[in-house]
Amino acid sequence: MAAAPVWSVDPRTGKQREQVAVEATAQEVDAAVRAAHAARGALVDRAVRAAFLRSAAAGLDAARDGLVETADAETALGPTRLTGELARTTYQLRAFAGIVDEGAFLDVVIDHPDDTATPPVPDLRRYKVPLGVVAVYSASNFPFAFSVAGGDTASALAAGCPVVVKAHPDHPALSELVAKVLRRAAAEHGIPEGVVGLVHGFEAGVELIRHPQVAAAGFTGSVRGGRALFDAAAARPAPIPFHGELGSLNPVLVTEAAAAERAEEIGGGLAGSMTLGVGQFCVKPGLVLVPSGAAGDQVVKSLTDAVSDTDAGVLLDHRMRDAFIAGVAERARLEDVDSPVTPGAGGEHAVSAGFLTVPAERLAAEGAYDLLLEECFGPVTVVARYADEDEARTVLSRLPGNLTATVQLSSDEAAGNGRGPELLAELTPLAGRVLVNGWPTGVAVAPAQHHGGPYPATTSTSTSVGGTAIERWLRPVVYQNAPAALLPAELRDDNPLGLPRRFDGALER
């Protein structure tokens, strides 16, 4: 049977643009993984790794116009958004190059023998080594930043791990172009092009997670798809780490005092956040707890006015569009659910933004209303009107893990008065990033960033954004009483590589 073709599709029209590739067979997946595995040795030199990452960033910058044009044709996200996302991606590659240069991620610790300790301490030297080939599953909604050259790939390469990327079917042509840029950058530094593999097709993704030479995986996508891969990773004869970002409701709590102080600002900010990128951000606020009194009414009025002025937009593909329309219709049919601005179809290929309201008491117990506590991908949010703080607290206690949780406070509460500190503490167990008087859309690429959270937000405690994302692809190893002549350069007393380390308990820079 001939392999199925892989088509590039224009989501604005639903028409096929061009055939890009064919779906990879099991044999082709095997060849890609073996080529990546064979390229591991070329990444041992940290200077070469850093130079490779910088060349990859420069190559993407040089190809910007063509890449953005192709990305827009396949995703309808618009040149402005995509140009910014590409800049974020190249910045991220350069940032990881800097991390590789610095070397602190190796976490070098050296303890010399101490016979006076109880029990005695032998000579111990610890650092971190790369896991091996990493399988990367591209996301639909970030064709640059969470795709072929995105954070999983950049951090894996920085750790010294080759990658095999399973391309997302929503942007296959872009995936091929970006992979070519990365491979050219690798060749510039004598690294085999197989260090970055690329495969297409659903079955290829399944074969990839099962391959015995794949040592770890990174995934961004749906709960259903991510959980299936996570289970497959755990079911292998030798289970592997699976770092998946699966889904998030990103709750927002608006206090009574905040609503009374700045209702219009809160409503407008919420509208901007929930409709940004046609509601296709993983950190879109999907549930907002608003007081049921007059102050809360003003927040809802402001939200109504702002969302009503939002133009219809195109989702990443027609499958997502159908799921969005069906999802909001199913939610709107529930008793006591109202639609001040009705979300749904916005033309033959587009969708219109909107939001639903529901009494918070409906969400306080298990039942049909649990549907409102599930992520709905697209420009919609649920506003739950709570009667008192206990009711709001009960709803929060029922939420699964999230990437973010936000509290909107009054100026007095933000100054530490009232329940501000208590509310922050209550939100902390729910998410990996807790915001005060902001909106979760927009994830800064910075050393202190954490993009993860309790399940199902992610399947691990790690982050996929920020410098510490590199830790996912490393494992610690310690050498005990190893002769100096046998030690890797990173663990020698004279520190020939000039690495940051902890030496007999003292931190050395």
Which residues belong to the active site?
245, 282
CB atoms within 10 A of CB 323: 16
Q: How far apart are CA 80 and CA 74, in angstroms?
A: 15
- The alpha carbon dihedral of 219, 225, 231, 235 has a sign of negative
Which tokens belong to 91? 């910045």
Query: Phi and psi at residue 285, in whole multiples of 5°?
Result: -70, 115
Tracing tokens 């610790």 back to the chain, one arrives at: 109
Q: How far apart are CA 320 and CA 373, in angstroms?
A: 19
Q: How far apart are CA 265 and CA 117, in angstroms?
A: 61
Q: How far apart are CA 50 and CA 29, in angstroms?
A: 27
- Please choose, from the candidates 5, 2, 15, 6, the residue with its C-alpha nearest in 3D space to the C-alpha of residue 314: 15
In this structure, are residues 440 and 196 in contact, taking their beta carbons and an 8 Å threshold?
A: no
Q: How far apart are CA 363 and CA 370, in angstroms?
A: 7
Output Rg (C-alpha) for the chain, integer angstroms.
25
Which tokens belong to 273? 């956040």
In this structure, are residues 273 and 441 in contact, taking their beta carbons and an 8 Å threshold?
A: yes
CA atoms within 13 A on the CB side of 452: 19
Report which secondary-structure segment, H or E, holds 289: strand 287-291
CB-based burial, 341-373: b 16+ in 10 Å, e otherwise: bebbbbeebbbbbbbbbbbbbbbbeeeebeebb
Cβ burial, residue 471 (10 Å; 0-12/13-18/19+): middle
In this structure, are residues 134 and 163 in contact, taking their beta carbons and an 8 Å threshold?
A: yes
Tracing tokens 């529930």 back to the chain, one arrives at: 334
CB atoms within 10 A of CB 103: 17
CB atoms within 10 A of CB 66: 11
